[in-house]
Structure 1
Amino acid sequence: MSSPLRRLLQLAWPIRNWMLLAALLGSLTIISGIGLLTTSAYLISMAALHPDVSALSIAIVGVRFFGIARGSFRYLERLVSHRATFRLLANLRVWFYSALEPLMPARLLVQKDGQQHELRSGDLLRRAVSDIDTLQNFYIRVLAPPLVALVIGVLMWIFFGAFGIVFGLIFIAFYLLSSVGIPWLAHLLGQRVSREMVSTQAELESQLVDSVQGIADLIAFGQQERQAQSIERMNKKLQKLQMTAAYVSGMQGTLTNLLMNLTAWTMLLVAIPYVYRGELSGIILAVLVLGALASFEGVLPLASSFQQLGGSLEAARRLFEIVDARPAVQNPTTPSPTPQDHSIQVKDLSFRYEESEPYVLRDVSFTLPRGKCLMIVGPSGSGKSTLANLLLRFWDYQEGTMTLGGQPLQAYQQDDLYQQMSVVEQDTHLFNTTIRENLMIARKQASEEEMIEAARKAQLHDFVLSLPEGYDTAVGEQGLRLSGGERQRVAIARAFLKNTPILLLDEPTVNLDAITERAVLDAIKALRQQRTTIMVTHRLAEMEMADEILVLHHGRIVERGTHASLLQSEGLYWRMWQQQRARTVEAV
């Protein structure tokens, strides 16, 4: 048994009783259908002999019973199987998200064909939604139908054998060919197509997500036609695969119907001599033929089930790639220690993302006492944001030490670490909901007064009151209804509301105009009071608020000191300062 198949069965183990109940109800549905047809055949054949009505009473009651029972059992079977499957799929979504969360926001690398590949957001969306939905075919149409077919096959073998061994052998030969041979053929012909359909749909959805996210750039550079052609090629490939799958499905349906009718004709041709010799009642002829036809209802779903098995296993493999991926950061097995204070110390820190890649940080050391402010500046690509991400434990460092309150950073559970830090990033993400909900992410249990006070401190409250719906104003997807400065002030208000002893700011004024930058910096000044603060920036504005400034270049600290002392030394910091002043003068 292949690993994805085995693991899928293990995931289905908690609902095994529901699946067995669904298989039982499915068997009873088909048995009722067989009973309806065979009893009807007996009733019609018997009625042709004009017997007394009392001789037909049992058959009449049987037809009514089986007619009602078939519909009832079918409804119950659908209800049980779908309810169990949908509950399982809901659990699978939670299971997948729980496995995905520890892998983010570090680069998500998965093993494929012996190599590591970084996943795109569109591919993640496909796995989290469509691939999990694909598994309902496995749990509804792959697990239960073989059990139903087995039950029906055994019961009908015994039923036909009761009229003669030859009838039992005829039935079981055609039944096995239909229930095993044709599904296996459909599986062989369709497994590659099913797998390619899943991977092609994933690639198509990834391209569509990339296209939607980058639609403005595509239009601006006149590349929308080229992107549309690329999507069209992928769509044609998917259509071709779907047509191939339809051909296989049509072939298996034709063969199954052919064998079903061959079974009925063989039964009829073999039974006629028995009737002539008086070894079998003529009334039974219709019972054998219609019974054989009705029994194949248990076989009909099998071919499509095995055809879809390849797609289900491919979807499962893609999910297990994520679940089996090793997180970049491992939580300790012991509870988090209690920090002595909220000071931060970094000593001889070196870091690189992969062993094959160059170091991003080399021999970085600094000490930030409680309540002090440290600014980290440097050219783009010097490692500033990487250092901030290491402090947040988005990645784990390989060399050196980082401590918080005298305790190693790696000794803290990530959730406990985040409870002590507030973060304002350069690209604040706002969810497609109201300003209120976006603020309350920081602290769900906060009161209305606390939220408004945080907004006031972030210089956001007056702007919100100017909106028609106030704090209930929707911000749009990714907060695009707000300007860059307004989004940053929402992020600062979150930090005020969270009210943690440590503050980490990563390029909080990037891409802002001078007036908006001044407003954001004033809010940051108020926010950093009495907090241990690290601010990563390449914009040298309000540097006097820093107790110490670190200048990074190519991952190393090349200068350190206060704003005044660094200007006096006329090094890299002084050159950056002069360049920024020159650009400001030119802009004026």
Structure 2
Amino acid sequence: MNFFKTFKHDTWVKPYIKRYKGLLLTALFLGLMTSFCAAALMFTSGYTIDKAATHPVNILLIYVPILLTRAFGIGRPVFKYIERLKSHNWVLRVTSDLRTRLYKTLESDASFFNEHHKTGDIMGLLSEDISHLQNLYLRTIFPSVISYLLSIIAAIALGTFNPSFGFFVFLLLFIEVFIVPLVSVSIESARRAYQKEVKSDLYVQLTDNILGADDWIVSGRKTDFQNLTTQNVKNLDQSKAKSKAFRRNRDFGLQLVFVAIVVCFLIFTNFTMTNNQEQANFVSAVVLAIFPLSDTIIPVSQGFEEWPLYKDSIIRLNTLKPVKSNLPTQVDLKPDDFESLELKHVSFEYDVDSPVLIKDFSQKVTKGEKLALLGPSGIGKTTILQLILGDLSPQKGQVKVNDLDVAQIQDNREKIFSVLNQQPFLFNTTLLNNVRLGNEKRTDSEVKKAIERVGLKDLIESLPDKYNTIVGENGSRFSGGEQERIALARILLQDAPVVLLDEPTVGLDPITENNLLATIFDVLQDKTIIWITHHLQGVNHVDHIIFMNSDQIEMQGNPKELYQTNAHFKELYKMDQGL
């Protein structure tokens, strides 16, 4: 009942079985032919041996069995190989569709998903659930269907000779392919669920620990860090050991039942097939034909045993619902057509229980203008950047690019906006590849030119591998300032008219910060810049500065004019410069 209930409203398994049903039926047919050839091979081999032992008058009397033995001997691996190709092709097609669908589902509302799931949960979802569905097909559906078909075919075939014996063998096969698998599920269900829960906890713990590794080290609690997951790992290993012992004992029991089937066949053939020499030649052939079927029938219990894992994955995947896009008709705005960016009476709050973060904020930035937003943490500076990008939508007001709502250019917004934030991510590949991420169509010479413009040419050319230097995991080969320059080179290749700077110099020493800011504003002098910063270092590079305080603008204007006319600004500037 639980099995059918799980699939009642399923949209992650049944639709794909129907979509590729032709390939699935082909794989199942090939699986049956593999088992048939394996049984037929043993049958013809046994018959040939028995027939040869009767000293035939002419060798031609066993020529046909010899040919059949060779044919089935070749047919078994050939059918097996083709079946593997077809079944894995089917599974890979299905799982490819599933992974694409999962990505689109998560990507459609990534911010919502992160609010309701931990990072470790996301890792578990991506790493295990689709793999579980893949195993559901390969280790449960295929073996079970083929085993059921073989059991039915065998029972019918035997029933034509002796209905009573056919029914008795069917009962023994029923124990093998149905009763024992159900017992396996009932015994292992709770244990598997526990293992999955422990593993999920480990994902969450390891994610938290790795992201917070520096804090553990600084606090001097290295031992605690190492031992934090020890108990969970120990519990998981103990549970897996119990499952392994159960599996070993169960498979031994299945072998015993299969031995009982073989014994029954020995008795049956000796009673019914020894009336004359010709019939006696079939005794060993019939009994030997049974043995290869064990390779098909016994694995069914293993597939059933893992059903609780598959069930949990199917239920969790079916709870994921893509968020329908509410975007208006999209407009392909050309970068050269950009003229202005305007926030008109924008108000924003994250939810009804939170205070209004941004209230009636208005500002217009024209092409080529440089704007700096300053203020204490938590007042919404970064939120303004998210509103400009269209990642967030204001409850009131509008964000306009030229005369278009920013929501109208989301399909191609990378043509208009580029972002340089506090911690640009660098991939563990070459420097050229990392910079080319800004525009994959650019040539090596154009990438090198961008690297030169951000002031890294001498450093890179002094390295042994030069531009093919591997940057290391998350850019570990380079310092913080150098990583920002590499990300800046990406922006140069992207060549979007509006650049959003989200405190790119946080954590840098004053000298490095000054040099980086000078480089940024030098190479981006023809761009429109909106810069989030926490202090006044480098504000001489901008045309307009806004001081935000709580939900209102405290002061704004040209920094040079403010220095001359606003005593408060002059005081803040001197304090920031240490004067």
Into which bin does the TM-score normalised by the smaller protein fall?
0.7 to 0.9
Superposed, 1:274-285 pairs within 5 Å as 274=272, 285=283
Cα shift readout 1:181-223 (whole Å, capped 9, x = no counterpart): 2222222323343344344334324433443444333222122
User: In structure 1, what residue type is equivalent to 2:374?
Assistant: V
User: In structure 2, what residue type is equivalent to 1:133?
Assistant: S
Which residue is equivalent to 1:38?
43
Partner SS state of residue 13, structure 2? helix
TM-score by length of 2: 0.88
User: In structure 2, what residue type is equivalent to 1:310?
Assistant: P
In structure 2, how many angstroms separate the alpha carbons of the residues matched to 1:457 and 1:65?
A: 71
Report whether the alignment pairs 1:19 with 2:24: yes
Which residue is equivalent to 2:71?
65
Query: Mind listing any 5+ residue stretches in structure 1 that lack a counterpart?
Result: 110-115
Partner SS state of residue 134, structure 2? helix
Which residue is equivalent to 1:362?
359
Partner SS state of residue 429, structure 1? coil
In structure 2, how many angstroms separate the alpha carbons of the residues matched to 1:193 and 1:350?
A: 51
Asked if structure 1 preserves the Cα contact closer than 8 Å seen for 2:196 and 2:309, the reply is: yes
Which residue is equivalent to 1:430?
426
Superposed, 1:474-485 pairs within 5 Å as 474-485=470-481
Query: Mind listing any 5+ residue stretches in structure 2 that lack a counterpart?
Result: none
Cα shift readout 1:281-324 (whole Å, capped 9, x = no counterpart): 55555455444454444321211111122223334445555x53
Superposed, 1:91-170 pairs within 5 Å as 91-104=97-110, 106=111, 108-109=113-114, 117-120=116-119, 122-170=120-168
Asked if structure 1 preserves the Cα contact closer than 8 Å seen for 2:118 and 2:204, the reply is: no
User: In structure 2, what residue type is equivalent to 1:117?
Assistant: H
- Relative distance call for 1:350 and 1:247 in structure 2 (3 A) is farther
Cα shift readout 1:354-400 (whole Å, capped 9, x = no counterpart): 44433332222222222222211001222111111221223333332
- Relative distance call for 1:309 and 1:418 in structure 2 (3 A) is same
- Relative distance call for 1:365 and 1:274 in structure 2 (3 A) is same
Report whether the alignment pairs 1:78 with 2:84: yes
Asked if structure 1 preserves the Cα contact closer than 8 Å seen for 2:371 and 2:529, the reply is: yes
- Relative distance call for 1:510 and 1:74 in structure 2 (3 A) is same
In structure 1, how many angstroms separate the alpha carbons of the residues matched to 2:69 and 2:10?
A: 41
Partner SS state of residue 371, structure 2? strand
Cα shift readout 1:130-169 (whole Å, capped 9, x = no counterpart): 4433433222122212221233123212221222111211
Which residue is equivalent to 1:185?
183
Which residue is equivalent to 2:492?
496
In structure 2, how many angstroms separate the alpha carbons of the residues matched to 1:299 and 1:291?
A: 14
In structure 2, how many angstroms separate the alpha carbons of the residues matched to 1:193 and 1:307?
A: 10
In structure 2, how many angstroms separate the alpha carbons of the residues matched to 1:465 and 1:123?
A: 43
In structure 2, how many angstroms separate the alpha carbons of the residues matched to 1:254 and 1:313?
A: 27
Superposed, 1:380-399 pairs within 5 Å as 380-399=377-396
Partner SS state of residue 108, structure 1? helix
Cα shift readout 1:377-436 (whole Å, capped 9, x = no counterpart): 0012221111112212233333321111121112222x4112111211121211112222
Asked if structure 2 preserves the Cα contact closer than 8 Å seen for 1:194 and 1:311, the reply is: yes
Asked if structure 2 preserves the Cα contact closer than 8 Å seen for 1:33 and 1:67, the reply is: yes
In structure 1, how many angstroms separate the alpha carbons of the residues matched to 2:98 and 2:41?
A: 39
Which residue is equivalent to 1:401?
398
Structure 1 residue 507 displacement after superposition: 0.7
TM-score by length of 1: 0.87
The match for 1:28 among 23, 33, 37 is 33
In structure 2, how many angstroms separate the alpha carbons of the residues matched to 1:15 and 1:82?
A: 12
In structure 1, how many angstroms separate the alpha carbons of the residues matched to 2:209 and 2:541?
A: 43
User: In structure 1, what residue type is equivalent to 2:262?
Assistant: A
Report whether the alignment pairs 1:548 with 2:547: no
- Relative distance call for 1:43 and 1:355 in structure 2 (3 A) is farther
Report whether the alignment pairs 1:301 with 2:299: yes
More moved, 192-201 vs 150-159: 192-201
Partner SS state of residue 348, structure 1? strand
The match for 1:533 among 508, 514, 529 is 529
Partner SS state of residue 556, structure 2? strand
More moved, 330-339 vs 390-399: 330-339
Asked if structure 2 preserves the Cα contact closer than 8 Å seen for 1:432 and 1:475, the reply is: yes
Asked if structure 1 preserves the Cα contact closer than 8 Å seen for 2:332 and 2:412, the reply is: no
